[in-house]
Amino acid sequence: MSKIYNVTRLKQDDADNQDLKQKQTQQKKQAVFKVLAARKLMEAALRTKPFDRKKIAAAVDLYNAAIDIFPPIKEPYLALAYILWQFNNIEGAVQLLKTALHHNPHNDKAQ
């Protein structure tokens, strides 16, 4: 009986792992979509003089949403750190880069 249980349990574990991978893939896609939208907003905001702060704020919201959905994604951290740096919040930018490294230690750009 225990062998049957073990085989059944292994099959269930495999199915659970597949479900988790699919969920993570979907979350990453959603996060990337938000990052792309934020990037477009930032590009538009930076083309205006003075910079369009409403578009920058909307981009910040999208970058934060991407982080909430899929924390290992690196671009939102880098973009937010750049924005903080541009607004002379160097300490906040450094802290954000440290957070990026916490979530993704292989983030060579945050180092």
pLDDT in tens, 4-42: 666 666 666 777 778 888 999 999 999 999 999 999 999
Structure tokens at 36: 């792309």
Q: Which residues of 64-99 are buried (b: 16+ CB within 10 A; e: fewer)?
A: ebbbebbbbbbbbbbbbbebbeeeeeeeebeebbeb
As a whole number of angstroms, the distance between CA 51 and CA 35 comes to 19
Residue 103's pLDDT band (cuts 50, 70, 90): confident
pLDDT digits 0-9 by tens, 36-84: 999 999 999 989 989 999 999 999 999 999 999 999 999 999 999 999 9
Q: Which residue has the tokens 């957070």?
A: 99
Q: What is the pTM of this model?
A: 0.77
